Structure 1
Amino acid sequence: MSQSDFDSLRERIRLLDLELVARVAGRVELARQMGELKRLQNLPTVDYAQETTVLSRARSAAQEHGLDPRVAEDLFAGLIAASVSAQEEDSLRVAAVGAGKTAVVVGGAGRMGRWMRRFLAAQGYTTRSLDTFDVPEEVTLARECLHSAELIVCSTPPVATAGLYLEWSQKPPSGVVVDIASIKTPLIEPIRALQEAGGRVASIHPMFGPSTFLLRNADVVICDTGDAEAVLTVERLFQPTTARIVRLPLADHDRIMADLLSLAHAAAIAFALALPESEHPVRSTTFQALRSLSAAVLRESPDVYYEIQAGNPDSLEAVERLRVALDRIVGAVRERDSAGFRRLFEEGQERAPVSPNP
């Protein structure tokens, strides 16, 4: 095969790639129109039954064309995600919860702070960032409208947020104040102090990171602070999205997060620490999955993750369960107890059952 043959094939592939992109753009536009019809009929953005139909159709078409069905399924899963994202974006814009309103994001220069600013701007809010890493002009503007803004979001460490609440209790902002902290124990008393001073306070916990662009299947915890109006204000921010809203009593939050965060983070960090110093020439799918998970955790801020561990009074109990579990595994292997090891498997299967896809 000559060089011209290679060039000819590559040109044909290039044109197909361009056509694919154009077709995808057309498909997303049709999905936006479908989203408009859903809004008019008060239908949910996500239609799991239709997604199943689309994926099944993709797999069948792939087989007919001699293509691996998994390739088609991955491709169409991405198309579905793009479509849902476009519909969600339009729903936020149409809902216009923040139209004509101002939101100040304290800690707005941080990764999650920037995510909140984009999220609020998509809903019509004029956003300001109050952060030491912002340019002085932005900080000045944020300070000027802090007490008149309709919404103040604290994207700051819990201890820092607690200090702000105690400071603001001398002169509470007129808008709703909400934190997005991963632990709530340091905030409970400051929240009460700010409320007693007349402040309107809510508390939420987005159970996702700043790289998230699609809220489908993402949980947003709304904690009950005793101020129904403030809680409803922040809950409305997420109602137009595909996020799953979970309501919890404020006092129960950290006990649950000890399992969801402290235990999970400790397991990921421990796995990384147990890895050999040099890489092996072979890999397994389980090893790769666990290493990728550990790497994702260790890319985050050690200060934030330490605060999640140390600031949650229920963390040690959860991490201690991890240590006990490892001891049980080591014990069964050391004693060559196959029946005991099998029982550990069975117990694990009961606690971590396979969840069917929606």
Structure 2
Amino acid sequence: MLVSIIGGAGRMGSWFAKYFLNRGYDVAIFDVRADRAEHVARSIGARVYRSSVEAAGEADILLIATPIDVTPKVICEVARWMRRNSILIEISSLKSKVMPVLRGVSKMDIRALSIHPLFGSGAQGMAGEKIALIPVNDPASEEELARRVFPEANIITVDLDTHDRVMALTLSLTHFVNIIFASIVGEEDVRLLKHLGGTTFSLQLIVSEAVMSEDPSLYASIQMTNEHTVGYIDKFLSFALELRDIIESRDVEGFIHFYRKVLEAISKDEDFGAAYGRMYRALKAI
């Protein structure tokens, strides 16, 4: 069975190329960065296509791993070249713009899967990793197909609106906070901070530096394509300014009240009680 990957020279595209190769599939990649595609293909043992049309026309499974903002256009360009009953998988981290296109594709006797890998290209394998499945038409049959293609993954089915709203919190806001944290720390003597910083700072620095090592174009798309992003950033800034005013006014009772209100809300998480110990174990593992 042939898997073609458009965007196969990118981090996630090449990750999936290696994944399918390891599972015994024949894999070919296409990328507009032709030299990069040649290099990736040689390094992993895949073939290279010279055009997206060629990649689409021969594939049993066509995986689209292009930037969020161009994914709908790419699908529109290649879908008409795909064979009947072939599988189209797109992996973008936001779904509102691509979903109407996928619903159109599904009417062309093409099985469309919209997934969001909830892990990065540093993952060592698929076992135990989470994949969000956002149904295009038929949740049951699409989940069955996803489990067949990714049998080791933990498939989580979620509707489009919930997915994109949650991503504004778990991706957009998280990235925003870490970029701002890194911008402040970067103005200081980082070596000194690492010498004197405790466990909380050390873990926060690792996360922020990991965020800053990613592709800024991808992160810009995640921030700017999601209609829920600005609302959560505004909420973050509102809480931050409220706490700042409490601190500036030396209002101890106000601080404790703010803290306890947040604690009451966050402690509803069933894993809350183990969080402190897990933080130390995580740092020790690193």
Same fold (TM over 0.5): yes
> 2:56·2:81 contact (CA, 8 Å) conserved in 1?
no
- Residue of structure 2 in register with 1:200 after alignment: 111
Q: Does 1:163 align with 2:73?
A: yes
- Residue of structure 1 in register with 2:282 after alignment: none
The 5 Å alignment of 1:1-358 reads: 101-133=1-33, 134-135=37-38, 138-140=48-50, 143-144=53-54, 146-174=56-84, 175-215=86-126, 218-227=129-138, 228-239=140-151, 241=152, 243-275=153-185, 277-279=187-189, 281=192, 282-353=196-267, 354=272, 356=274
> 2:7·2:13 contact (CA, 8 Å) conserved in 1?
yes
Taking structure 1 as the reference length, what is the TM-score of the superposition? 0.66
Compared CA separation, residues 170 and 146, structure 1 to 2 (3 A) = closer
What code does the residue aligned with 1:235 have?
A: R
Q: Using the aligned pairs only, state the percent identity.
A: 25
- Secondary structure of residue in 1 paired with 2:16: helix
The separation in 1 between residues aligned to 2:115 and 2:200, in whole angstroms, is 34
Aligned alpha-carbon RMSD (Å): 2.4
> 1:147: Cα distance to partner?
2.3
What code does the residue aligned with 2:252 have?
A: S
The separation in 2 between residues aligned to 1:171 and 1:276, in whole angstroms, is 49
Structure 1 unaligned blocks of 5 or more:
1-100
Cα shift readout 1:100-139 (whole Å, capped 9, x = no counterpart): x111111111111111011112222111101123239711
Compared CA separation, residues 139 and 172, structure 1 to 2 (3 A) = closer
The separation in 2 between residues aligned to 1:276 and 1:187, in whole angstroms, is 36
The separation in 2 between residues aligned to 1:355 and 1:349, in whole angstroms, is 11
What code does the residue aligned with 2:95 have?
A: K
> 2:133·2:158 contact (CA, 8 Å) conserved in 1?
yes
> 1:273: Cα distance to partner?
1.9
What code does the residue aligned with 1:199 have?
A: I
> 1:283: Cα distance to partner?
2.2
> 2:105·2:112 contact (CA, 8 Å) conserved in 1?
yes
- Secondary structure of residue in 2 paired with 1:105: strand
What code does the residue aligned with 1:344 have?
A: F
> 1:231: Cα distance to partner?
4.2
Compared CA separation, residues 245 and 274, structure 1 to 2 (3 A) = same
> 2:116·2:132 contact (CA, 8 Å) conserved in 1?
yes
Per mean C-alpha deviation after superposition, the further-off stretch among 301-310 and 159-168 is 159-168
Number of aligned positions between the proteins: 256
Taking structure 2 as the reference length, what is the TM-score of the superposition? 0.81
The separation in 2 between residues aligned to 1:234 and 1:287, in whole angstroms, is 39
> 1:181: Cα distance to partner?
0.6
> 1:155: Cα distance to partner?
0.8
What code does the residue aligned with 1:264 have?
A: T
Compared CA separation, residues 180 and 355, structure 1 to 2 (3 A) = farther
Higher RCO structure (Cα 8 Å, ≥6 apart): 2
> 2:135·2:142 contact (CA, 8 Å) conserved in 1?
no
> 2:30·2:55 contact (CA, 8 Å) conserved in 1?
no
> 1:276: Cα distance to partner?
6.0
> 1:176·1:230 contact (CA, 8 Å) conserved in 2?
no
The separation in 2 between residues aligned to 1:302 and 1:191, in whole angstroms, is 26
> 1:343: Cα distance to partner?
2.2
The separation in 2 between residues aligned to 1:210 and 1:119, in whole angstroms, is 11
Compared CA separation, residues 204 and 352, structure 1 to 2 (3 A) = same
Cα shift readout 1:232-276 (whole Å, capped 9, x = no counterpart): 32232332x2x4221111332111111110111111111112226
> 1:332·1:341 contact (CA, 8 Å) conserved in 2?
yes
What code does the residue aligned with 1:138 have?
A: V
The separation in 2 between residues aligned to 1:209 and 1:278, in whole angstroms, is 29
